[in-house]
Amino acid sequence: MPSTVKVDFYKSSPKDANLESFKGLVSHALPGLHANILDALRRCGHLENPGSLKVVDLGAGQGALSARFAECGCRVLACDYVSENFAASEFGIEFRCLDLNQDFADLLGAGSADIVSAVEIIEHIENPRHLLRECRKLLRPGGVLVLTTPNIDSSRSKTDFMAEGIFHMFRDSSYRSSGHITPIGAWQLDKMAEEARLRTEQHTTFGNESYTFRERPKAFLLQSFIERFGRRYPWGDGAIHVLLLSPY
């Protein structure tokens, strides 16, 4: 594995005590996002009879979300580029080292997955359309792709952009450390899903709905203006897009 700032970040960040964990496994996501995802799948009927379900968890990290699926009774295949981080083998989870910028569906079993999880990963990918096509190829008929990514359409992100010319979670520091290289708006997500022959079952947002810039008065006023007069989206103003996508 080559040493780069992006890879090195994920090697060292499991030591960060501020990150959420599940069964001792660190989650690289907003606290509560993983639980929110499982709740969304249950509400839409995708976790019925979990013992019969195969889940492919892309960008699994230490395996926190993989372990949640395994605890539900699902059969889980976890994949990540940084193999030395994975720590969830004790949950009976299979692991494959994988570069998601390359073709991967045939390697993992095209048409075999009931659930594909791409949680907080597409913003790290050079070609997000390629990722969605490969995820679509992985899914069996009736399966579902869980996709999340930072919401650059939020009032928080719009405020950052108008004040500083950057989207929230896509600063230079985010690029250099956590590898956020591809900001994607909701309009683009819809187009890319359609082109990959994926239908949106559910689109919500999660986290930081009430974030304000109270420590920065000018930004606070700007965000207040955007919230009052800007476009309101049916999926909400949270920090993270959460989509359930089905193949057609």
Sequence-distant (6+) residues with CB within 8 A of 141 are 247
CA distances (Å), 225 to each of 144, 217, 229, 237, in order?
37, 12, 6, 14
pTM (2 decimals)?
0.91
Query: Using an 8 Å Cβ cutoff, are 133 and 103 in contact?
Result: no
Sequence-distant (6+) residues with CB within 8 A of 228 are none
Domain 5-151+170-210+239-247: CATH class, spelled out:
alpha beta
pLDDT digits 0-9 by tens, 107-120:
999 999 999 999 99
Q: Among candidates 5, 8, 35, which has minimal Cα distance to 20?
A: 35
Write down the domain spans for the chain. 5-151+170-210+239-247
pLDDT above 70: percentage of residues in the chain = 91
pLDDT digits 0-9 by tens, 53-99:
999 999 999 999 999 999 999 999 999 999 999 999 999 999 999 99
How far apart CA 52 and CA 245 sit, in angstroms, is 20
Query: Using an 8 Å Cβ cutoff, are 66 and 60 in contact?
Result: yes
